[in-house]
Amino acid sequence: MPSPLTRRSQRPWNALGALPARFRRQRLLIVGCGDVGVRVARQLDLGAGAQRVRVLALTSSPERIPALRALGVAPLLGNLDAPATLRRLAGLATRVLHLAPPPGAFAGGGARDARTRALLRALRRGRLPAALVYGSTSGVYGDCGGARIDETRATAPSTARAQRRVDAERSVRQIGLSQRGGVRASILRIPGIYAPDREGGTPEGRLRRGTPVLAAPDDVFTNHIHADDLARACIAALWRGAAQRIYHASDDSELKMGDYMDLAADLYGLARPPRVPRSSAQEHLPPSLLSFMGESRRLDNTRLHRELRVRLRYPTVREGLVAGSER
């Protein structure tokens, strides 16, 4: 079957497009090089980024070093929770992709993202990168009552984790406004990430467990992006993102959560999930899932298409799930 990183024509997807020679010695630092970061590295390696962009990745795990090297990525040992280990990052990269999540509630810090603050302090010690892209979350908006929103919508985080994301966004935008200048800071607000080849990346497990969803009158709109398309959005933002600009990294789907689960069940040949009213949902669902079901919004992704010029390989979740089932 075709690789998820190739087009239907079997030709490698050109992640960067036609670039002038001055980009050949670009150094991209990926902070938080998990599943999406690895996809970014692979897409750059397959496309025009090969031989033009050297990819480095910060990792706190020595066990990951061989796997990163096998991808052609230069690993750097360091830990965002130990700022002293980040000193070597100063002046190292011309572009930075920050995908690391904020610390959890157990780490303290309240509404502050100490990890992002530590990273930016390290970057400020040397020559600042030309571009910095931060992967945030659409959860910063809180509940929008199902409204379709664009990036000008005010943030209204309703959870501590979303508050920490807002703090991280603020820190990233501040470095973009630094008097030293030169940093083109962009923010991607990311919804639910899925991919059949991603651990826990489809609803199949929830369907097999029979996890309920909300009854239709109580259901909420949810947004998604395939992990491969998110990697494309990250690359586009690194080279095309505007300074101080926010982008919704979301696909074109417009589905309520229950409808998404029904769609997946039909594709997998499984029973559709039971529906429960919101009034009794806490008896059937874990708190983590209930918190997501308390927010409803539809993300407008016009900027993603028009400004970043991202062509989604999987414009809807149906296409992404079907492609996965055919492999």
pLDDT, tens digit only, all 327 positions of the chain? 343 333 333 334 445 454 445 445 799 999 999 999 999 999 997 655 555 899 999 999 999 999 999 999 999 999 999 999 999 999 999 999 999 999 986 655 688 999 999 999 999 999 999 999 999 999 999 999 999 999 999 999 999 999 999 999 999 999 988 766 679 999 999 999 999 999 999 999 999 999 999 999 999 999 999 999 999 999 999 999 999 999 999 999 999 999 999 999 999 999 999 999 999 998 888 888 888 899 999 999 999 999 999 999 999 999 999 987 665
Residue 50 has a pLDDT of 54
What are the backbone angles phi and psi of residue 54, rounded to the nearest 5°? -90, 125
Do residues 86 and 78 touch, judged by C-beta distance below 8 A? Answer: yes
**Cα atoms in the 13 Å half-sphere on the side-chain side of 32:** 20
Residue 323 has a pLDDT of 87
In the chain the domains, ranked by start, together with CATH numbers, are: 21-200+224-256+298-319 (3.40.50.720)
Distance CA 279, CA 151 (A): 32
% helix, strand, coil for the chain, step of 5: 40, 20, 45
Residue 104 has a pLDDT of 82
Distance CA 279, CA 145 (A): 17
Distance CA 167, CA 243 (A): 18
Helices 257-268, 317-325: crossing angle, 10 deg rounding: 20
Residue 107 has a pLDDT of 56
Question: Is 0.75 surpassed by the pTM of this model?
Answer: yes
